[in-house]
Amino acid sequence: NAGVTQTPKFRILKIGQSMTLQCTQDMNHNYMYWYRQDPGMGLKLIYYSVGAGITDKGEVPNGYNVSRSTTEDFPLRLELAAPSQTSVYFCASSSGDRAGNQPQHFGDGTRLSIL
Amino acid sequence: ELKVEQNPLFLSMQEGKNYTIYCNYSTTSDRLYWYRQDPGKSLESLFVLLSNGAVKQEGRLMASLDTKARLSTLHITAAVHDLSATYFCAVLPSGTYKYIFGTGTRLKVLA
Average pLDDT across chain B, whole number? 95
Surface of A (54-113) touching B: CB under 8 A: 56, 58-59, 90, 92, 99-109
Per-residue pLDDT of B38-57, as tens digits, reads 999 999 999 999 988 899 99
User: Smallest CA–CA separation between B29 and chain A, in Å?
Assistant: 11
- A45-64 pLDDT per residue, tens: 999 999 999 999 999 999 99
- Which neighbouring-strand residues pair with B11? B107
pLDDT > 70? residue A97: no
Nearest CA in chain A to B4: A42
* Residues A84 and A13 sit within 8 Å (Cβ to Cβ): no
- For A52-59, the CB contacts below 8 A with 24+ separation are A56/B97, A58/A33, A58/A34, A58/B98, A59/B98, A59/B100
* CA-based nearest residue in chain B for residue A102: B48
Query: Is there a contact between B104 and A56 if contact means CB atoms under 8 Å apart?
Result: no
Please give, rounded to a whole number of angstroms, the shortest distance from the CA of B76 to a CA of chain A.
Answer: 21
User: Best mutation site among A36, A49, A104, A111 for testing chain B: the one with the most B CBs within 10 Å?
Assistant: A104
B37 contacts B85 by C-beta, under 8 angstroms: yes
pLDDT over 70, % of chain A:
97
Q: Residue A2: what pLDDT?
A: 79
Interface contact flag, A108 B41, Cβ < 8 Å: yes
Q: CB–CB of A104 and B45 under 8 A? A: yes
CA distance B85 to B82: 8
